[in-house]
């Protein structure tokens, strides 16, 4: 897979390996043939499914719709790992949802 002359990566071309830098060509051997298989998995995660009474509550925020001072809250990492988490609130009175970054 690497050029014996200059050490650059060789790419397959017309049944042979061709160097991308100097143009040197060589035969494709058994050690150069690789098969990579990937398996995609898809999971579905339910964050809130109807029964929010099991979530923690806070009195430290105010609902933007009804000005209620109590809300359920959860924390999710919605951005990069070096960014702070996102707090998601749901009003206990009118069930309005909002975020705080």
Which residue out of 25, 32, 83, 100 is catalytically annotated?
83
Q: Is 32 a catalytic residue?
A: no
Q: Is 44 a catalytic residue?
A: no
Which residue out of 49, 82, 85, 100 is catalytically annotated?
82
CA 94 to chain centre: 32
Which pair of tokens denotes residue 20?
Answer: 């991308």
Do the beta carbons of residue 91 and residue 63 sit within 8 Å? yes
The neighbour count for residue 66, using CB atoms within 10 Å, is 11
Q: Among candidates 67, 71, 75, 76, which has minimal Cα distance to 95?
A: 71
The catalytic residues are: 82-83
């Amino acid at each position: 897979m690497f050029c014996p002359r200059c050490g650059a990566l060789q790419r397959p071309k017309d049944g042979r390996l061709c160097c991308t830098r100097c143009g040197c060509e060589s035969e494709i051997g058994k050690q150069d043939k690789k098969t990579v298989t990937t398996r995609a998995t898809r999971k579905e995660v339910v964050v809130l499914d109807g029964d929010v009474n099991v979530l923690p509550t806070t009195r430290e925020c105010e609902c933007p719709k009804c000005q209620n001072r109590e809300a359920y809250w959860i924390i999710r990492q919605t951005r990069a790992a070096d960014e702070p988490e996102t707090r998601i609130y749901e009003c206990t009175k009118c069930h309005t949802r909002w975020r705080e970054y």
